[in-house]
């Protein structure tokens, strides 16, 4: 697992992994989209709009997962002085921002037919919007500092301070009475979702993960090359 | 008291200097010489534990500086190349703040004497931002006397000073040396200050 | 004993500094009142509407005007080297952050306490709500000071885009605004809401010396 903290090892592993991951993500996307649009049933309440879920839920999960990864690498960078953590932070932040944006847009498209409005100010929606703004601030900090050492450490500190938002996003549906439905899939209890909808959801989730990994590999490799002299 | 062993510092993969050895005992004055960008300020900052050395170590009284930091700070005055006096306040108020802040036991008449030798006594009630650059620099040196510490770390103390003030500085350095104090300062101009060691970076 | 003397002299210095720059603080307060005028002009002078959203307006403007003065939080002391001198005088960076936070709370936020009753008269807020507004402001403004310390220490080396500092404060002050406003509006939940606000204060107060201290050290190292 040393390739997760060492840039040159990461480069080697990434060279092997990149093409299979990309192909796998394309295959999973095609299967998943066929499942999502033709093979899965309509919801008895929501009708055909439930199919938005197959984009909305995986992107929401990945938006949170990306932030968790960034927090872990920030701790690694600050506490254990692993510079690779800072590389991950710069490389991965835009990916997380895009996932959050996909989540917000698809959710608002879903909300219009179901709730009758594009946007409501409830806890889940607001906290996800704040998550998006935090991602944008991270990108802006990356752009506006000139001194690289200061910049990457400030970004890491900001990510750690901003991670207080994560539990709020996750548990907002349980803590407050929100319009947004509570989580249907959880580890502890039997999922309250039908297997025929579960299959495409899982396939789509893996497709999103593979796509995310493929883009992340590309961005991390660029980042490593751009500061090669500093790391060698 | 301060011992620098094989110190090398690199920033952004660029070597600034390598294998510097220093020992600053009591009654010693060390002059750091070198071109612009040769790392004089960096070395002085490393002595204050602001910059992590890439190899080598700094010792204070036989212990690593990092482990003994606040004890070290009790004995050191640092004057940077910028002036730290508060520009919105008058000279007198600045002196009063410094005396309180550094818990100084120095008497008012002593301060007045020094102000007179530095020719700052006429500006006592004026705001610092109405003083010229050289005069604020001279005001800054008043901190050396007020803080009354053993080790002086000075960054470019002689630039922007007239010859007369440089003579005063040289006299102050001599007095400090005779009181078993030690000084390390950087300069790129030639002066007749009597130094005990020169280090070329 | 020595540390106590150092703290007292630190506040003496801050007092002198803020006294000489008192027009800055006064400008903040003027900004606060002018914004209230603008708000009233834009929504119309209807008494019912104004008193129903008055608390929200007061809190929004308090937040905005306290972010105005963020640039001065550490920047002056950083640029003329006083932060380093304080550190060399035996105060750790985290401790400097705590002292500075209290100084900002006392010298910048507290003058707003005097302007709140006048704002209440202008915005038609009933006088029995005033005491709740004071409570929520006393806690909330301290949280804002802590957040201001974190964000302005982050932005010391940022020469290009200082507005980022204000955005960072505003994004983290969302829970403060929510709970402070609801303290005033929902008086029956006073105890539980003030506990939540106090909890947020403790969390932010615990993060502040770590984050600000680290950023101050970082900026001084690379300056």
Count how many pairs of residues, chain A against chain C, have C-beta atoms within 8 Å: 54
What would you measure as the largest C-alpha separation in chain A, in angstroms? 59
- Of the candidates C157, C167, C174, the beta carbon closest to that of A145 is on C157
Residue A190 has pLDDT above 80, yes or no: no
> How confident is the prediction for chain C on average, in pLDDT?
89
Handedness of CA C200, A137, A22, A53 (dihedral sign): positive
Handedness of CA B184, B188, B192, B197 (dihedral sign): positive
Handedness of CA A112, A117, A119, A123 (dihedral sign): negative
Interface contact flag, C80 B82, Cβ < 8 Å: yes
Q: Which residue has the higher pLDDT, A1 or B113?
A: B113
Which string of b and e fits A87-97 if b means at least 16 CB within 10 Å?
A: bbbbbbbbbbb
Assess B105–A contact: CB distance below 8 Å, yes or no.
no
Q: How close are the terminal C-alpha atoms of chain C, in Å?
A: 33
Mean pLDDT of all residues in A69-86? 91
Report the C-alpha gap between C73 and A73 in whole angstroms: 30
Residues in chain B closer than 8 A to C94 (CB atoms): none
C66 C-beta neighbours (distance < 10 Å), count: 25
> How confident is the prediction for chain A on average, in pLDDT?
87
Q: Are C75 and C223 in contact (CB under 8 A)?
A: no
Domain ranges within chain A, ordered by starting residue: 50-223
Interface contact flag, A130 C150, Cβ < 8 Å: no
Residues in chain B closer than 8 A to C5 (CB atoms): 103
Interface contact flag, B13 A149, Cβ < 8 Å: no
- Of the candidates A78, A144, A150, the beta carbon closest to that of C222 is on A150
Mean pLDDT of all residues in A162-186? 79
Q: Which stretch of DSSP H or E encloses residue B101?
A: helix B91-101
Report the C-alpha gap between A142 and A226 in whole angstroms: 14
Q: Are A143 and A151 in contact (CB under 8 A)?
A: no
Residue A230 has pLDDT above 70, yes or no: no
Q: Are strands B182-186 and B29-33 parallel, antiparallel or unpaired?
A: parallel
Mean pLDDT of all residues in C95-116? 91
- Give me the average pLDDT of each 10-residue run along chain B (201 residues): 85 79 86 83 86 86 85 88 85 88 84 84 86 85 86 86 84 87 83 76 76
Q: Are C179 and C193 in contact (CB under 8 A)?
A: yes
All partners of chain A with 3 or more CB pairs under 8 angstroms: B, C
Q: Which stretch of DSSP H or E encloses residue B64?
A: strand B63-64
In this predicted structure, what is the pLDDT of residue A41? Answer: 78
Q: Where are the alpha helices (DSSP H) in C69-189?
A: 75-79, 82-88, 93-104, 110-122, 130-154, 163-172, 174-185
Count how many pairs of residues, chain A against chain B, have C-beta atoms within 8 Å: 6
Residue C34 has pLDDT above 90, yes or no: yes
Report the C-alpha gap between C7 and C1 in whole angstroms: 10
Residues in chain C closer than 8 A to A130 (CB atoms): 171, 174
- pLDDT digit string (tens) for C187-215? 788 888 889 899 999 999 999 999 999 99
Q: Are C90 and C6 in contact (CB under 8 A)?
A: yes
In this predicted structure, what is the pLDDT of residue C130? Answer: 86
Annotate A184-222 with DSSP letters as a single string.
S--SSS--SS-HHHHHHHHHHHHHHHHHHHHHHHHHHHH
A120 C-beta neighbours (distance < 10 Å), count: 15
**Residue with the two structure tokens 């006096």:** B85
Residues in chain B closer than 8 A to C83 (CB atoms): none
Percent share of chain C, pLDDT over 70: 100
Name the nearest CA neighbour of B88 among C100, C72, C154: C72
Name the nearest CA neighbour of B57 among B19, B12, B17, B14: B19
Mean pLDDT of all residues in A143-155? 87
The minimum CA-CA distance between C9 and chain A, rounded to whole Å, is: 31
Beta sheet of B55-60, edge-to-edge order: B14-24, B2-11, B55-60, B63-64
In this predicted structure, what is the pLDDT of residue A185? Answer: 65
Report the residue of chain B nearest C85, measured CA to CA: B78
- pLDDT digit string (tens) for C128-148? 888 888 888 899 999 999 999
Chain C, 73 to 92: residues with Cβ < 8 Å from chain B are: 79-82, 84-85, 87-90
In this predicted structure, what is the pLDDT of residue A232? Answer: 45
Q: Which residue has the higher pLDDT, A189 or B56?
A: B56
**Residue with the two structure tokens 């080697």:** A12
- pLDDT tier at A229 (50, 70, 90 boundaries)? low
Annotate chain A with DSSP letters as a single string.
-GGGT-HHHHHHHHHHHHHHHHHHHHHHHHHHHHIIIIISPPBTTTBGGGGGHHHHHHHHHHHHHHHHHHHHHHHHHHHS--HHHHHHHHHHHHHHHHHHHHHHHHHHHHHHHHHSSS----HHHHHHHHHHHHHHHHHHHHHH---HHHHHHHHHHHHHHHTTHHHHHHHHHHHS--SSPPPS--SSS--SS-HHHHHHHHHHHHHHHHHHHHHHHHHHHHHHHHTHHHH-
DSSP structure class, residue B30: E
A75 C-beta neighbours (distance < 10 Å), count: 16
CA atoms within 13 A on the CB side of C169: 32
The angle that helices C130-154 and C93-104 make with each other, rounded to 10 degrees, is 140
Q: Are strands B14-24 and B2-11 parallel, antiparallel or unpaired?
A: antiparallel
The angle that helices A195-226 and A7-34 make with each other, rounded to 10 degrees, is 150
Report the C-alpha gap between C192 and B24 in whole angstroms: 61
Report the residue of chain B nearest A148, measured CA to CA: B12
């Amino acid at each position: 697992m040393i390739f997760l903290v060492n840039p040159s090892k990461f480069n080697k592993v990434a060279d092997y992994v990149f093409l299979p991951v990309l192909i796998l993500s394309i295959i999973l996307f095609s299967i998943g989209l066929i499942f999502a649009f033709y093979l899965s049933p309509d919801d008895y309440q929501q009708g055909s709009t439930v199919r938005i879920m197959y984009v909305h839920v995986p992107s929401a999960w990945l938006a949170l997962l990306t932030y968790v990864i960034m927090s872990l690498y920030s701790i690694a960078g600050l506490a254990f002085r692993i510079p690779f953590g800072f590389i991950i932070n710069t490389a991965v932040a835009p990916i997380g921002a895009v996932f959050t944006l996909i989540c917000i847009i698809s959710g608002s498209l879903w909300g219009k037919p179901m709730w009758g409005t594009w946007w409501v100010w409830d806890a889940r929606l607001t906290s996800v919007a704040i998550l998006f703004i935090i991602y944008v601030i991270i990108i802006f900090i990356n752009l506006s500092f000139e001194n690289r050492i200061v910049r990457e450490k400030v970004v890491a500190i900001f990510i750690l301070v901003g991670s207080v938002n994560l539990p709020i996003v996750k548990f907002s549906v349980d803590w407050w009475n929100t319009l947004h439905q509570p989580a249907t899939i959880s580890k502890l209890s039997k999922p309250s979702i039908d297997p025929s909808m579960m299959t495409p959801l899982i396939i789509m989730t893996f497709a999103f993960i593979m796509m995310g990994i493929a883009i992340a590999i590309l961005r991390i490799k660029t980042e490593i090359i751009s500061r090669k002299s500093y790391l060698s | 008291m301060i011992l620098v062993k094989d110190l090398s510092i690199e920033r952004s993969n660029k070597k600034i200097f390598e294998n510097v050895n220093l020992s600053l005992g009591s009654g010693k004055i060390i002059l750091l010489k070198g071109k612009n960008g040769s790392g004089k300020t960096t070395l002085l900052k490393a002595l204050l534990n602001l910059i992590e050395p890439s190899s080598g170590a700094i010792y204070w009284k036989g212990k690593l500086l990092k482990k003994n930091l606040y004890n070290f700070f009790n004995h050191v005055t640092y004057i940077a190349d910028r002036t730290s006096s508060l520009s919105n306040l008058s000279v007198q108020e600045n002196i009063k703040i410094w005396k309180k802040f550094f818990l100084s036991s120095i008497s008012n008449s002593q301060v007045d004497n020094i102000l007179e030798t530095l020719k700052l006594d006429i500006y006592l009630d004026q705001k610092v931002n109405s003083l010229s650059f050289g005069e604020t620099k001279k005001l800054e040196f008043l901190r050396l006397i007020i803080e009354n510490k053993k080790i002086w770390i000075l960054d470019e103390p002689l630039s922007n000073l007239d010859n007369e003030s440089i003579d005063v500085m040289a006299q102050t350095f001599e007095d400090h040396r005779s009181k078993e104090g030690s000084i390390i300062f950087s300069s790129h101009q030639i002066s007749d200050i009597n130094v005990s060691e020169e280090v070329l970076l | 004993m020595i540390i106590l003397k150092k703290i007292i002299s630190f506040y003496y210095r801050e007092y002198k500094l803020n006294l000489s720059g008192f027009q800055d603080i006064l400008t903040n307060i003027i900004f606060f009142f002018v914004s209230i005028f603008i708000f009233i002009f834009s929504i119309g002078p209807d008494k019912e509407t104004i008193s129903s959203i008055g608390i929200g307006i007061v809190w929004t403007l308090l937040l905005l005007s306290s972010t105005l003065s963020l640039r001065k939080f550490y920047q002056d002391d950083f640029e003329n080297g006083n932060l380093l001198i304080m550190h060399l005088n035996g105060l750790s960076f985290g401790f400097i952050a705590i002292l500075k936070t209290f100084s900002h709370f006392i010298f910048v936020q507290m003058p707003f306490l005097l302007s709140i009753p006048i704002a209440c008269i202008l915005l038609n807020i009933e006088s029995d709500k005033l005491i709740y507004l004071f409570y929520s402001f006393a806690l909330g403004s301290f949280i804002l000071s802590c957040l201001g310390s974190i964000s302005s220490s982050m932005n010391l080396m940022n020469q290009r885009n200082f507005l980022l500092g204000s955005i960072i404060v505003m994004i983290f002050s969302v829970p403060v605004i929510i709970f402070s406003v609801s303290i005033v509006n929902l008086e029956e939940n006073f105890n539980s809401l003030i506990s939540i606000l106090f909890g947020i204060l403790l969390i932010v107060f615990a993060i502040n010396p770590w984050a600000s201290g680290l950023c101050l050290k970082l900026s001084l190292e690379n300056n």
